[in-house]
Copies of this chain bind each other. A is one copy, B any other.
Amino acid sequence: MKLHGYFRSSAAYRVRIALHMKGLPFEQVSHHLRRGEQRAPDYLAINPQGLVPSLILDDGTVLTQSLAIVEWLDETHPAPRLIPVDPIMRAKVRAFALAIACDIHPVQNLKVLVALKRGGYGQAEIDEWAKAVNAEGLAACERLIANETGPFCFGASPTLADLCLVPQMANARRFGVDISGWTKLVAADAAASALPAFQAAAPESQPDAE
């Protein structure tokens, strides 16, 4: 399999974790997002959204969207399970993942920040926006797992929720958000980050890391 991504992309990071968790070998193709390489015509022919990641299967099938890719990996390579078997737990894990993937990540991502800059925001106001989106979103995530036992977001093993949490906590730290009060999130982030699969998938471990 071939993963089109970028070391700093949170969405590609989620898929790298899943591939490493399942012990699946994969090649990487890097697209430098700040240079706009994801909008090159040859990449748009692969992924019309011009976003990373895309996963190319050995038969040439192209899968896009990180959460859809992780669901596919979990259905076709179920060990270890990243989405629990029980329907209610599946719904809770997915809701947590979507709270990050829909309501935090895209709203603090490059495209919106660029628009805010064009609109007249100064750098301090842009940083404040990104910080506030992360702070508000992660505070809600902490409450979504308030009654879970840990150490991971949902119990004794990592799930799709942790795959989304770890990259987002890295973003929150980068934006200077004080994450220390979210004890469940901090514990899950630490437990996940100690695993070899999460370490192998981390941005700084990628061949295109700068």
Residue positions of A touching B, CB distance < 8 A: 48-51, 61, 63-65, 67-69, 71-72, 75-76, 87-88, 90-92, 94-95, 98-99, 101-103, 105-107, 111-112, 115-116, 119-121, 125, 129, 137, 139-140, 143-144
Contacts and interface: CB of A to CB of B under 8 A. Distances in A.
A125 B115 CA distance: 10
A65 B102 contact: yes
Contact of A102 (B90, B92, B102, B119): B102
Contact of A107 (B101, B107, B120): B107
Top 8 A-B pairs, shortest CB-CB distance: A120-B120, A48-B143, A119-B119, A68-B94, A65-B95, A72-B91, A65-B98, A68-B95
A166 to B, nearest CB: 18
A111 B116 CA distance: 12
A105 B107 contact: no
Main secondary structure of the interface of A (DSSP, over half): helix
25 contacts: A48-B143, A48-B144, A49-B99, A63-B92, A63-B95, A65-B102, A67-B94, A67-B98, A68-B90, A68-B91, A68-B94, A68-B98, A69-B95, A71-B90, A71-B91, A72-B90, A75-B90, A98-B101, A101-B102, A107-B107, A116-B116, A119-B119, A119-B120, A119-B121, A120-B120
A189 to B, nearest CB: 18
